[in-house]
Structure 1
C-alpha cells in the first residue's frame, strides 16, 4: 500500500517500517519454516516470488504491511536493518462489500522475541494506524485453533470469538471500533510516534536520545 511507503511508527520496544526490497531475503528465510507456514497458512515461495510479492504488496490498495524491527538494535547504525527484523504485521482490506472491515495479521517470526509482549504492542500500534489512517471500523483476526497463544492475546485486546471453522481448523475473532475502543487504544499507544522513514534512517542513533 502506497500510504505507508515512507512511514515509520515508533513504539517502546519496536519500530514498524515499510516492507522494502532489502527485507525480502530475511523474510524468505523465515518462510522456509514449516512452523511459520502452518501458523500463517502460507505456501513456500521461491526467492524471486517473494520479491514479486513484496512489489505487489507495495502497490496493492488493499494490503498494508509493516516489518517489525527491534528498536534497541536498530538505533545502532552499525547494525544492518535486515538484522533487526523480528516479524511483520498486516492489514488486509479484502471485503469489497465492507471497506471498513480489516483483517489483522501479526507474525513474530523470531522465536526469541515471542512471549515478551511484543505482539500485543505491535497489534495495538497497527490497530491505531488502521483506525486513524485507513478508517477501519471493524477488525477481524483469523487464527489457527492450535495457535492458542495468539487467540489468547487477541482476546486480551477485547476481541470476541465470532466463529470457528472445523474444516480449516480456524477461529475468527472480531472487534468493533466504537468510542470506548478508540479511546482505550489512544491511551494505550499515546507514546507511539509517526516519523518520516527515510529521514529517520539517516540519523538512527538520534532516536534513542529523544
Structure 2
C-alpha cells in the first residue's frame, strides 16, 4: 500500500487528499478544457480511461475540489528527486493563493516524509504565472526547450529552504483517514 493512501494534508485554505474514484468525474470534466490541456501538456481521455488512470495512480506507488497537485518520484535511478505539478482547474479558485499553498504543502510533504532532496517543475513557456510562482519559491531555471515549449525549473533542498518551507506551512497537519 502506498505511504500516502490514507493521508490528508490540511492547510489553512486547502486540503490535499489522494486522487480517489469519486474525484474522477470532476477531474474528467476539467480536462475537457482546451486551456487546461494546453497548460498541463495533456491529451483528453475518455471517462473510462480516466478511471483506469486513477486506478493506476492509486495502486502505483469532493465537492470543493479545485485542482490537482502531484509529486512524481524519479525511480529507480534517483529516488531522492521528484517532479512537482500543480493545476488549479476551477477558474473561480484561481488568484486566491490555493495553488501557492497546495504547492508548498506538497513540497513540505516531499521533504519531510519522502526525503526528497531535489524538486523539478516543467512549465509551459507561456505559463508566466506558474514560472513566477516557482521562482518566488526559490526554483531556478535550468533549461528551456523550444521543441516542447517548456521551461524546466529546479530546487535543491537545503536546510535554509527547508526551514522556509516549514515556516510557510506552519499550522498545517497530516492526518491519516
TM-score range, shorter chain: over 0.9
Q: 1:112 aligns to what?
A: 92
Q: Deviations over 1:88-112 (max 9, x none)?
A: 1000013532111100000000011
Alignment partner, residue 85 of structure 1 = 65
State the secondary structure of the residue aligned to 1:2.
coil
Looking at CA atoms only, which structure, 1 or 2, has the larger radius of gyration?
1
Are the aligned partners of 2:82 and 2:116 in contact in 1 as well (CA < 8 Å)? yes
The 1-side partners of 2:150 and 2:18 are apart by 28
Counterpart selection for 2:145 from 157, 165, 177: 165
Equivalent residue number for residue 50 of structure 1? 50
2:154 maps to which residue? 174
Q: Indicate the SS of the match to 1:190.
A: coil
- Cα deviations by residue, 1:187-209 (Å, 9 ceiling, x for unpaired): 11111111123xxxxxxxxxxxx
Q: TM-score, normalised by structure 2?
A: 0.97
Instruction: Give how far 1:182 is off.
Output: 0.9
Q: The residue matched to 2:66 in structure 1 has which SS?
A: strand
Paired residues, what number?
Answer: 177
Deviation at 1:127, TM superposition (A): 0.4
Over the aligned positions, Cα root-mean-square deviation in angstroms equals 1.1
Shift of 1:87: 0.4
Equivalent positions of 1:22-171 (< 5 A) are 22-61=22-61, 81=62, 83-171=63-151
- Of 189, 194, 202 in structure 1, the residue corresponding to residue 169 of structure 2 is 189
CA distance in 1, matches of 2:165, 2:15: 18
Distance 1:101 1:34, change over 3 A: same
- 3-state DSSP class of the match of 2:12? coil
Match of 1:68 in 2: none
What TM-score, normalized to structure 1? 0.82
**Does structure 1 retain, via aligned residues, the 8 Å contact 2:125–2:150?**
yes
Question: Structure 1 or 2: larger helix share?
Answer: 1
